[in-house]
Amino acid sequence: IDLVIRAEGYKQFTSALKLQPGEVKSISILLEELPRQKMNTQMMKKADEEFERKNYATAKKLYKREADNGNPAAMYKMGEIYDQGLGEWFADKTRAFRYYRMAADLELPEAIFKVGEFYEHGMGNTAKNEKTALQWYKRGAELNHLPCLVKIGIFYENGIAGLERNQDTALTYYLRSAEKGNAEAQYRAARIFEQKMLAETIQMKRDEYKKQAKHFYEEASRQNWSD
């Protein structure tokens, strides 16, 4: 079995255990404490200001100093700069992944999502591995990261990473994100409700599915979502 232990403020522990049927095993684990680096330092504020002004070279120097001090938000911004090639001649996906992964290991949800994307699409010298991507998305979902919830829904809806297609399971993930305002999740939930409405023969259920589809389409539309 795979053993995963997470605690706020500590680095995730992962290990594989071999147990015989009925076997009970006790283990003692000392979790590694994560750096208690504040994410909203004066240098970080200055870096963000330079980034907003599109002074990417200056912003990168400041983010790099913060990243070297263990600031996961700065690591993520370094990843973003390399990912998009901001202030550079071209994007550097390999360096981008390196910084995203550093921030993800410090439990930054946005970085966890990006690491999942890199594995899903095989970017940055990372071999495409949808099962590994799904593991990262699930890790982000445990932190209630809305785009990660949507990704898991997509995997279930389309049978990705060896999952059996399951529209109802997909819907539960979409709804968790949709109810917190994620426009893509609202649209995808509405589409499933519409499909359920068209397939349903009992009028009462058809009416309920229609109501839910209308509601979520309208919510997504308010945020100008388009597929």
pLDDT tens track for 109-139: 999 999 999 999 999 889 999 999 999 999 9
> Can you give the pLDDT at residue 16?
59
- Give me the long-range contacts of 75-83 (CB less than 8 A, separation at least 24): 75/99, 75/100, 75/102, 75/103, 75/106, 75/108, 75/111, 76/100, 76/103, 76/108, 76/110, 76/111, 76/114, 77/47, 77/48, 77/51, 79/103, 79/111, 79/114, 81/56, 83/114
Average pLDDT over residues 208-224: 95
> Can you give the pLDDT at residue 6?
59
Q: Are 145 and 110 in contact (CB under 8 A)?
A: yes
Average pLDDT over residues 1-19: 59
